[in-house]
């Protein structure tokens, strides 16, 4: 799967102090490279939140970031997708276990499959990948953005110890249902509630009640001042 760069640095212990210092310097350089890329990725995602009208012409836009996760790994093994799965676990760790477990496992499978070619790439060079996923979680339509960067070094390459580096940013945001076309809304609801008409109708009624109650609470000032009308 790979090892977190910061954790490796903390554990570096070489008999030769010069070798130890060199190993730490190599890791510092790798971390700076990854941080630079991930900062760029995060800026690009924030720009989409600031320009939802432009985004909505080609994609289902998220409202704003609810949660961010950044990872930087080195010495990538043949199962780097496990790291993505771990991040999904953390994203959806809160809430009811019975419903969230099935959704989470299904979502992990979708994400891993979509990113498998990129994550399994051992070709020498620098590579970028970007994916987004729209899903139903906790009675909310969400968007998950993933932007990845990896660099596979040639031969001895950058370091005799570190052969590759992988960094990625994952962002979760809520989607305003009113921005969805009817067909898109039905698709997502059916994916969550099933294809039976009765189940879909019941779930839509439940969502309508929940959203109506939430709007009423906001109107009555029971939610923090920073909350805004949808």
Nearest alpha-carbon partner for 78 in 168, 165, 1, 155: 1
Let me know if residue 230 belongs to a domain. Answer: no
Same domain, residue pair 203 and 143: no
Tens of pLDDT, residue by residue over 169-211, are 999 999 998 889 999 988 888 888 888 888 888 888 888 888 8
**What's the pTM?**
0.78
Same domain, residue pair 199 and 154: no
Same domain, residue pair 127 and 213: no
Torsion of CA 38, 40, 46, 48, to 10 degrees: -120
Tokens of 124: 């020498």
Mean pLDDT to the nearest integer, 93-107: 59
Q: How many angstroms separate the Cα of 76 from the Cα of each of 3, 33, 57, 71, 122?
A: 7, 16, 37, 13, 9
Same domain, residue pair 33 and 50: yes
| pLDDT band, residue 1 (cuts 50/70/90) | very low
Domain extent at residue 170:
3-176
Same domain, residue pair 170 and 193: no
Same domain, residue pair 192 and 166: no
Tens of pLDDT, residue by residue over 125-138, are 999 999 999 988 88
What are the φ and ψ backbone dihedral angles of 30, each rounded to 5 degrees? Answer: -60, -45
Number of domains in the chain: 2
Tens of pLDDT, residue by residue over 134-174, are 988 888 899 999 999 988 888 665 566 677 888 999 999 99
**SS3 category, 154:** coil
Tokens of 92: 């959806």
Same domain, residue pair 147 and 194: no
Torsion of CA 57, 60, 62, 67, to 10 degrees: -130
Same domain, residue pair 122 and 204: no
Let me know if residue 137 belongs to a domain. Answer: yes
Residue 153 DSSP class: P
- Taking the CA of residue 87 as centre, how many other CA atoms within 13 Å lie in the half-sphere pointing to its CB? 25
Let me know if residue 229 belongs to a domain. Answer: no
Same domain, residue pair 128 and 81: yes
């Amino acid at each position: 799967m790979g090892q977190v760069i910061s954790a490796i640095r903390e554990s570096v212990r070489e008999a030769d102090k010069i070798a130890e210092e060199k190993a730490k310097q190599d890791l510092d350089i790798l971390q700076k490279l990854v941080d630079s890329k991930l900062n760029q990725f995060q800026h690009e995602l924030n720009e989409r939140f600031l320009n939802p009208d432009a985004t909505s012409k080609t994609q289902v836009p998220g409202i704003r970031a609810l949660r961010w996760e950044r990872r930087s790994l080195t010495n990538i093994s043949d199962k780097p997708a496990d790291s993505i799965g771990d991040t999904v676990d953390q994203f959806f760790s809160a809430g009811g276990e019975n419903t969230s477990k099935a959704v989470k496992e299904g979502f992990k499978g979708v994400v891993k499959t979509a990113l498998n070619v990129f994550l399994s790439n051992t070709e020498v060079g620098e590579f970028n990948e970007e994916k987004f996923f729209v899903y139903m979680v906790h009675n909310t339509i969400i968007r998950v953005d993933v932007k990845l960067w990896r660099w596979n070094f040639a031969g001895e390459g950058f370091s005799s110890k570190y052969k590759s580096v992988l960094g990625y940013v994952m962002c979760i945001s809520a989607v305003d249902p009113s921005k969805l076309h009817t067909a898109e809304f039905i698709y997502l609801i059916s994916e969550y509630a099933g294809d039976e008409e009765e189940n879909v109708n019941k779930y839509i009624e439940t969502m309508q009640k929940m959203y109506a109650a939430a709007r009423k609470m906001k109107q009555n000032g029971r939610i923090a001042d920073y909350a805004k009308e949808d």
